[in-house]
Amino acid sequence: SNREIVGRSAGRHKTAALVMQAMSQIPMNLQTIELFHSDRGKEFDNHLIDECLTAFGIKRSLSRKGCPYDNAIAESTFKAVKTEFVSNTIFDSLAQLKLEFNHYVDWFNYNRIHSTLNYQSPIEYKRNR
């Protein structure tokens, strides 16, 4: 994994539709994805998501209840988003949130270095593989 954020969406509530929005933005053939790992939130453990994963032949992997270490990479990414982007920020509108989130994700993918990627950004690491 190069830790690149490939799908993104923002909304007022965490819903399966929001997850589907993020999945629809993934710029690659979804049939090449082997595993979809998530926690047990209702937005992920949902028939709409199940149907999408089945349609593209993607295997589901759910974290065990109360065990975030099952999905350490995603949890680390969520923590980064929460502390670097969201932390104590009040957005004037959903449109502003979406715009600024897109800017953050671009920065994260192209500029944010990760020690686990030999101190490279996700895009730089992908290019050098």
The whole-angstrom distance between residue 128's C-alpha and the CA centroid of its chain comes to: 22
Q: Rounded to two decimals, what is the model's pTM?
A: 0.86
CA distance linking residue 13 with residue 103, whole number of Å: 21
Mean pLDDT of the chain: 91
CA distance linking residue 125 with residue 66, whole number of Å: 32
If pLDDT is split at 50, 70 and 90, which confidence band does 125 have?
A: very high
Q: What is the pLDDT of residue 71?
A: 81
Q: What is the pLDDT of residue 35?
A: 86
Q: What is the pLDDT of residue 37?
A: 81
> 43 in helix, strand or coil?
coil
Q: Which helix (H) or strand (E) is 36 found in, with range? A: strand 35-38
Q: What is the pLDDT of residue 88?
A: 87
Q: Are 52 and 22 in contact (CB under 8 A)?
A: no
Q: What is the pLDDT of residue 31?
A: 94
Does position 3 have pLDDT exceeding 80, yes or no?
A: yes
Q: Which residue has the higher pLDDT, 9 or 63?
A: 9
Q: Please, what are the domains in the chain?
A: 16-128 (3.30.420.10)
Q: Are 97 and 103 in contact (CB under 8 A)?
A: no
